[in-house]
Amino acid sequence: MKAKPMSLKPSPMAMVPFISVDNMMKLVNRVGVADMIAGIAAEIEADFKRWPEFDKTPRVPAHSDEGVIELMPTSDGVTYGFKYVNGHPANMARGYQTVTAFGLLARVDTGYPIMLSEMTVLTALRTAATSVVAAKYLAPQGAKTMALIGNGAQCEFQSLAFHKVLGIDTVQLYDIDPAATAKAAKNLADTGLTVVPCTSAQAAVTGADIITTCTADKQYATILTDNMVGAGQHINAIGGDCPGKTELHRDILLRSDIFVEYPPQTRIEGEIQQLDPDHPVTELWTVITGQNQGRRDSRQITLFDSVGFATEDFSALRYVHGLLQDHGTFEDLDMIADPDDPRDLFGMVQRAKGA
């Protein structure tokens, strides 16, 4: 069933609701980080169930030696959305965020924007939400322990997502920078999770039901070697997300059943860029709709090769849009020219000079 057009109560000056970083943080803290991730996850899962309704295209990248800037557009025929996002691993050494983003929603019938939002914080929430949606169908039944390799900006969001939605009670942390692990352990101290800092990736994955890799360096890396992955584990690979950036040894891929968001994008950016172009993968939406099977047995190795796709950002933006009336965490942004006579834009400019 098609979604209905989205709108807030229109203001006299055709203002557009804008969620700043400050307002996004207020919203997240009012709702609660874990609850907000769970809400976004429900929206993402619902949108995967209506996957054929969406316009789909690989994100539009501008690559450089320093990183990448990308646009991620999609539409369900009623609402249009896009995200602008960058990925610059060297930013961390400069004291900047590795990833920044903003996004927009618009009505398809008029083309008018209905919301502009920061998406640096929101992307962290939706990435964690997407991970738990996939793990719901792919992780071993009754999973309780997750290894997190790469304890940077995404680590705590992933931990809280899996704790809230899937009942993970223990996270085993490892990062090549001990300060990152200490930071994550401190932030997770009062969450109800058992937090185990580890001194190696091997120690982190030992005994884990789920392995999440979320490192930042833009390089062909081997965060996991083949001997580190055992039967029955689920791998949530979210760090390899652009050409020339991977985290897993190729042999792991050959042993795993691989699940992806959108193959034309993942074959360029994901772990499977290491494989032949026709290597079989399963689209996650077909598992969620029951057209294909996810986890079949207790010994199967499942791999979610996640690079992030536009529909997930669309889902997150729609979820936030639905909260605005109740929470009021936005300000009006004057970004639509609104002359009395739509044909007289010049006259509007001239009258403004007189005013």
pLDDT of 288 higher than 60: yes
CATH number for region 129-308 = 3.40.50.720
Dihedral of CA atoms 323, 104, 217, 172 in degrees, nearest 10, equals 10
Mean pLDDT, the chain, whole residue set: 93
Amino acid at 295: R
Collapsing DSSP to helix, strand or coil, 339 comes out as coil
- Picking from 109, 111, 116, 130, the residue whose alpha carbon sits closest to that of residue 16 is 116
The pLDDT tens digits of the residues spanning 343-353 come to: 999 999 998 88
Options 3.50.50.60, 3.30.1780.10, 3.30.70.270, 3.40.50.150; CATH of 16-122+311-334 = 3.30.1780.10
**Which strand (E) or helix (H) includes residue 29?**
helix 21-31
Mean pLDDT computed over 268-293: 96
User: What band does 12 get if pLDDT is binned at 50, 70 and 90?
Assistant: very low
The pLDDT tens digits of the residues spanning 323-345 come to: 998 999 999 999 998 888 989 99
pTM: 0.93
The pLDDT score that the predictor gives to residue 138 is: 98
Q: Where do the CATH 3.30.1780.10 domains begin and end in the chain? A: 16-122+311-334
pLDDT of 205 higher than 60: yes
CA atoms within 13 A on the CB side of 109: 6
Measured CA to CA in angstroms, residue 343 lies from 43, 208, 351 at distances of 40, 64, 14
The pLDDT tens digits of the residues spanning 249-275 come to: 999 999 999 999 999 999 998 999 999
Query: Any idea what the Cα angle at residue 180 is, between residues 224 and 70, rounded to 5°?
Result: 70
Collapsing DSSP to helix, strand or coil, 297 comes out as coil
Query: Any idea what the Cα angle at residue 234 is, between residues 283 and 72, rounded to 5°?
Result: 40
The pLDDT score that the predictor gives to residue 9 is: 45
- Picking from 321, 323, 320, 312, the residue whose alpha carbon sits closest to that of residue 127 is 312
The pLDDT tens digits of the residues spanning 79-117 come to: 999 999 998 878 888 989 888 999 999 999 999 999 999
User: What band does 11 get if pLDDT is binned at 50, 70 and 90?
Assistant: very low
The pLDDT tens digits of the residues spanning 304-326 come to: 999 999 999 999 999 999 999 89
The pLDDT score that the predictor gives to residue 217 is: 65
The pLDDT score that the predictor gives to residue 207 is: 97
The pLDDT score that the predictor gives to residue 4 is: 58
Q: What is the DSSP string of 107-150?
A: ETTT--EEEEEE-HHHHHHHHHHHHHHHHHHHSPTT--EEEEE-
Largest Cα–Cα distance in the chain?
75
Length, in residues, of the chain = 355
What amino acid positions are annotated as catalytic residues? 241
- Picking from 18, 196, 217, the residue whose alpha carbon sits closest to that of residue 115 is 18
The pLDDT score that the predictor gives to residue 8 is: 47
Q: What are 250's two structure tokens? A: 């190729």
- Picking from 304, 291, 210, the residue whose alpha carbon sits closest to that of residue 256 is 304
Mean pLDDT computed over 64-75: 92
Q: Where do the CATH 3.40.50.720 domains begin and end in the chain? A: 129-308
The pLDDT score that the predictor gives to residue 243 is: 75
pLDDT of 290 higher than 50: yes
pLDDT of 6 higher than 80: no
pLDDT of 231 higher than 60: yes
d(CA 105, CA 74): 10
> What ranges make up the beta strands (E) of the chain?
16-19, 60-63, 68-75, 79-87, 101-107, 113-118, 145-149, 170-174, 194-197, 210-213, 220-224, 234-237, 246-248, 257-260, 282-283, 302-305, 331-333
Mean pLDDT computed over 176-201: 97
